[in-house]
Amino acid sequence: MLAFATMTRNSALRDAQPLPAALDGRSIVLTGLMGAGKTLIGRRLAARLGLPFRDADTEIEAAAGSTIPELFERYGERAFRDGERRVVRRVLAGDPVVLATGGGAFLDPETRRTVRDAAVSVWLRCSLETLVRRVALRNNRPLLAGGDAAEILERLMRARHPLYAESDITVDCGEESPDVTTGRVLATLLTWRPPRRLAVALGDKSYDVLVGSDLISHAGAMLAPVLPQKRAVIVTDETVAALHLATLRAALAETAVETADIVVPAGERSKSLESYAAVVDRLLELRVERRTAMIALGGGVVGDLAGFAAATTLRGLPFVQIPTTLLAQVDSSVGGKVGVNTARGKNLVGAFHQPRIVLADVGTLATLPQRELRAGYAEVVKAGLIGDAGLFAWCEDHAASLLRGDRELEIEAILRATAFKTQVVGEDEREEKPDGGRALLNLGHTFAHALERETGYGDALLHGEAVAIGLGLAFQLSARLGVSPEEDAARVIDHIADVGLPAKLAMLDRRFSAASLVQHMRGDKKVRDSTLTFVLVRGIGHAYTSREVPVGAVIDLLRREGCTA
């Protein structure tokens, strides 16, 4: 008999489906209400994948030497859940398995954390009618003892579904056979792609950046674990609201997060003290509490505006970034810099306020005009020019396909640029290192901010376009000062122009005054002791800060680039 069992198992392993790559050595945990079929489907799924199967209830009974109904009767539900938590932790600490949990296991926050860390969770979601029919076939359900099954199950659905919705995957189950449902679970696992994750290491302010597709439609599952209260206010602009607000609100509702929203006009002009005051007034009107989260859904303007309101309202509200532009996904959503513009300059009023999490959904990039996508790409290039020559070479090879909407290249670009920034932010969160650190992220920005102020912070010159010109000017200035090869400046300018970004001042439809631009630079927040600070380069991937740049050299460069005196 033992030999037969061994032969059967070996045969099953030979015929097993290859493990989905997304599992990456993790277990599979099935959750759902009683009657969802977790054990039936779990056994079949384990056989298909060649993994061991474990049933949490069976493990608990074996450990306690009693049945589940006896444990409930003798010790009560609270003690049972404590034992269940320990069993789930023990099973998932070993080699990968398929684990069927009891219907209440996922209610425990510690158990949910354990599952998130060690497994891929699958919610088997069934209709009330299906569940009632299935549980009627068994009479050993402690939670149904002495009551109406339909009424009890409906109450459990209201209480538990928002927590089940935090699962990685949801599979709807109907009246089909367990084999059919198992096939559906397996097919979903084979196509599921978890978001890529980057950690921003800032001690007790650390957080994750998640990059992937369809994150907004699954935002409730990813945000619920990090929100201190199941209440949030979404700040967005009119353009983004029409595209993504309904999806986000529905996703949050699945996990019982109540939402209100504040919609501002689209464009850089909303990044102002007037808009900030209006947002704060609306937050106070909504009677937000210190645990009420603010969610920025939009580009850099929305992220900076909402983040500054979050930093200052009630002396600080929890904050989430869901950037919807490439520029925001690779730059402004990460690092905690938030603020608004004034008539005297860009980002002169603001704060450092780190988000709880960042969700970079590359699906939103498909809705961007090509001009906006190119503007965001300038920040990807910037990351390579500062400290990663390999990233810049990657950009030269892949820019055309990336800007045509290749999803995998978009993810790779965001990951590489963001990984560089997270490292810099982790080492110098508040830009306190005078000769490097986070200040290096301003490569090209001294020129860019001056151009933006001169053009009025509008659509005439997007931030990413100003940065593109600023990068070229920073490399030219470095070459003129003799610290960087001229051929590097030419290579950078050629690449910027090749992707359709303005690479030189002459490519804009207006002329500028060198004196006026330098005057704007003197009002830049990077000025120290009345001395202009520039980020220069010693070549591609080798940036450094300098406060020893002669103003005459800057004016001479600007005049050579077509500026008037």
CATH number (domain holding residue 358): 3.40.50.1970
Contacts of 18 (CB under 8 A, 6+ apart): none
Which of 368, 398, 428 is the last residue in one of the domains?
Answer: 368
Question: Within this chain, do residues 113 and 203 fall inside the same structural domain, yes or no?
Answer: no
Distance CA 482, CA 293 (A): 50
Look at residues 487, 465, 453, 470 and name the one whose alpha carbon lies nearest to residue 386: 470
Question: Within this chain, do residues 134 and 21 fall inside the same structural domain, yes or no?
Answer: yes
- Please provide the average confidence, as pLDDT, over all residues in the chain: 93
Is 548 part of any domain?
A: yes
Overall pTM surpassing 0.75 (yes/no): yes
Residue 525 predicted with pLDDT over 90: no
At 4, is the pLDDT very low, low, confident or very high (cuts 50, 70, 90)?
A: very low
Which of 164, 191, 218 is the last residue in one of the domains?
Answer: 191
Residue positions annotated with a catalytic role: 315, 337, 379, 421, 431, 438, 442, 445, 449, 463
Residue 538 predicted with pLDDT over 60: yes
Give the range with max mean pLDDT: 304-308, 428-432, 519-523: 304-308
Question: Within this chain, do residues 56 and 164 fall inside the same structural domain, yes or no?
Answer: yes
Q: Where are the beta strands (DSSP E) in 270-312?
A: 293-298
Question: Within this chain, do residues 282 and 172 fall inside the same structural domain, yes or no?
Answer: no
Bridge partners of 209, per DSSP, are 198, 358
Contact 283, 313 (CB under 8 A): yes
Question: Within this chain, do residues 72 and 174 fall inside the same structural domain, yes or no?
Answer: yes
Q: How far is CA 133 from CA 153, 470, 507, in A?
A: 11, 67, 71
Question: Within this chain, do residues 185 and 202 fall inside the same structural domain, yes or no?
Answer: no
Mean pLDDT of 414-425: 96
What pLDDT digit, counting tens, does each position of 195-212 carry? 999 999 999 999 999 999
Distance CA 391, CA 64 (A): 56
Contact 42, 29 (CB under 8 A): no
Distance CA 173, CA 180 (A): 9
At 1, is the pLDDT very low, low, confident or very high (cuts 50, 70, 90)?
A: very low
Question: Within this chain, do residues 135 and 276 fall inside the same structural domain, yes or no?
Answer: no
Predicted confidence at residue 458, as pLDDT, reads 85
Predicted confidence at residue 15, as pLDDT, reads 58
Is 397 part of any domain?
A: no
Predicted confidence at residue 101, as pLDDT, reads 97
Q: How many CB atoms neighbour CB 553 within 10 A? A: 13
At 97, is the pLDDT very low, low, confident or very high (cuts 50, 70, 90)?
A: very high
Is 398 part of any domain?
A: no
What pLDDT digit, counting tens, does each position of 54-85 carry? 999 999 999 888 888 888 888 888 888 888 99
Contacts of 225 (CB under 8 A, 6+ apart): 112, 113, 116, 166
Question: Within this chain, do residues 76 and 46 fall inside the same structural domain, yes or no?
Answer: yes
Question: How many helices (H) does the chain have, and how many strands (E)?
Answer: 23, 16
Residue 228 predicted with pLDDT over 90: yes
Domain that holds residue 92: 2-191
Predicted confidence at residue 8, as pLDDT, reads 41
Question: Within this chain, do residues 339 and 358 fall inside the same structural domain, yes or no?
Answer: yes
- Number of structural domains in the chain: 3
Predicted confidence at residue 6, as pLDDT, reads 43
Predicted confidence at residue 143, as pLDDT, reads 61
CATH number of the domain where residue 78 is located: 3.40.50.300
Question: Within this chain, do residues 34 and 155 fall inside the same structural domain, yes or no?
Answer: yes
Which of 337, 368, 399 is the last residue in one of the domains?
Answer: 368
Kindly tell me the sign of the dihedral angle through the C-alpha atoms of 340, 342, 346, 350: negative
